[in-house]
Amino acid sequence: MDRNHLKRQVDFMKRSLLDQGYLDEQFIQLEELQDDDNPNFVEEIVTLFFNDSARLLQNIEQALVSGPIDFAKLDNYMHQFKGSSSSIGAKRVKNECTRFKEYCTAGNAEGCFRTFVQVKQEHAILRTKLESYFQACISFIWQDKLDHLGLQEVKLDDYMDEGGSLIMDLYYKYDEAHMIK
């Protein structure tokens, strides 16, 4: 695929994520904080979010299924989770968190359970979508750099491991070897 096509793909995916409300303006802000000195900032922050949120979701789930519900504790966990969601611009996830907190405040256990399912679902969907998005970004950056060197297109599939993730080592070693900056 050529560079322009890949760029269009990235832009399209981002536009979709925004239009469909998965992400909001905050995500754009994060991208604006990325520069040559911090080229992976967004991906780092998002990775942090998903690591952190996995833990929080587990805590919330535990709190929901074990014994009498401690709404204050639930609210506290969800407050943290909502905060992180908001910080990365995860709009739909954040909105579900708000609904969950409302049920907590109302002491409505059933509402909490129902909404929690939604929270987990939105969280999982966003994770998948962002993984695709970052892969598209990497494809573009890769091709862009190769173009810059006047090299032929490289089939990225050759560099994908079984998990489908790009072998970043190769990418960085290539960078170092050719001192692209």
Partner 1 sequence: MGMAAEAQYHVLAVDDSLLDRKLIERLLKTSSYHVTAVDSGSKALEFLGLLEDDDALAPSVSLNDHHQDVDVNLIITDYCMPGMTGYDLLRKIKESKSLKDIPVVIMSSENIPSRINRCLEEGAEEFFLKPVQLSDVNKLKPHLLKGRDKESEPSINKRKGMEECYSHDKTRTKYDGLEVV
Residue 82 or residue 123: which is nearer to partner 1 going by CB?
82
Contact residues for partner 1, defined by CB under 8 A:
26, 29-30, 32-33, 35, 38, 41, 44-45, 48-49, 52, 79-80, 82-84, 86-89
Residue 36 or residue 110: which is nearer to partner 1 going by CB?
36
Q: How far is the CB of 9 from partner 1 (least distance, A)?
A: 26
Q: Name the token pair of 176.
A: 């170092």
Residue 19 or residue 161: which is nearer to partner 1 going by CB?
19
Rg, Å, the chain Cα set? 20
Q: How far is the CB of 132 from partner 1 (least distance, A)?
A: 22
C-alpha distance from residue 128 to each of 7, 50, 59, 134 (Å)? 20, 11, 22, 10
Q: How far is the CB of 29 from partner 1 (least distance, A)?
A: 5
The closest alpha carbon to 53, from 116, 110, 138, belongs to 116
Q: How far is the CB of 25 from partner 1 (least distance, A)?
A: 8
The closest alpha carbon to 56, from 30, 85, 23, 86, belongs to 85
The closest alpha carbon to 72, from 55, 56, 60, 57, belongs to 60
